Amino acid sequence: MTEAEAEQYAAETEAARVLFARPVSFVMGAVSVAQLPSDELPEVAFAGRSNVGKSSLINALVGQKHLARASNEPGRTRELNFFRLNDAMHMVDLPGYGWARASKVAVKKFQNLGRDYLRGRPNLKRAYLLIDARHGLKEVDNEPMDALDKAAVSYQIVLTKADKIKPAELTKVTEATQNAIRKRPAAHPVVLATSSETGFGIPELRREIMLTCEITL
């Protein structure tokens, strides 16, 4: 990276910090596509296995502890939860997949809701697929990636809980993840690693979201 590129990167990172420090609010929890708010704002969505840390990551991005409700009960998120940031964009917390304390019918219903949203939201700029850094990609992650590839929805892998493993292990799982998605047509090639606990990787993810949504301050 040249000096000029480094300066630009630093300026973008600072702009993203300012953006995510601005007012943010919970808009609604939609239980059907018909309930979705208007689509005039750019959106990013967060998807992942149950208990991967979606709510914690959203809270870390905006510097609040209780905006998105984190739970010790995997699979609790069963709605499309919309958060409005500075009247500039929406962040959407999608229902988790892989496990939930609910009947199979109920699980299928709220997971199909997430799929319908991803396929039909014209202002969705990117989906961020969260993967636990301790475990890496699993077989259960192939289905949402296949669906995103088929729908041609841009998505980026974000490793969570990076503080729970050693740096060398994090490097290894990051490289393995990049290799695994290399031939997936809708996958962004850069894998980001984050920790909601320590803040590691959060500035980089904020910058990525800001640039993806083409927000200027």
The enclosing domain of 66 has a CATH number of 3.40.50.300
Mean pLDDT of 183-209: 97
**What pLDDT was estimated at residue 171?**
97
For residue 217, tell me if it sits in a domain.
Answer: no
Quick one: average pLDDT of 125-134? 97
Q: Is 146 part of any domain?
A: yes
**Whether pLDDT at 103 is above 70:** no
Residue 199: inside a domain: yes
Residue 176 inside a domain? The answer is: yes
Is the pLDDT assigned to residue 74 strictly greater than 70? Answer: no
For residue 137, is pLDDT > 70? yes
- Asked if residue 159 is part of any domain, the answer here is yes
C-alpha distances out from residue 103 to 75, 80, 106, Å: 11, 19, 5
For residue 73, what pLDDT is reported?
44
- Given a contact cutoff of 8 angstroms between Cβ atoms, the answer to whether 158 and 128 are in contact is yes
Does the pLDDT at position 104 exceed 60? no
pLDDT of residue 18: 96
Three-state secondary structure call for residue 146: helix
Q: Which residue has the higher pLDDT, 103 or 23?
A: 23
34 in a structural domain:
yes
Q: Give pLDDT tens digits for 138-187.
A: 998 998 899 899 889 999 999 999 999 999 999 999 999 999 999 999 99
Q: What is the pLDDT of residue 56?
A: 93
Domain count, the chain: 1
Owning domain of residue 117: 3-212
B/e letters for 174-186, b = 16+ CB within 10 Å, e = fewer, are beebeebbeebeb
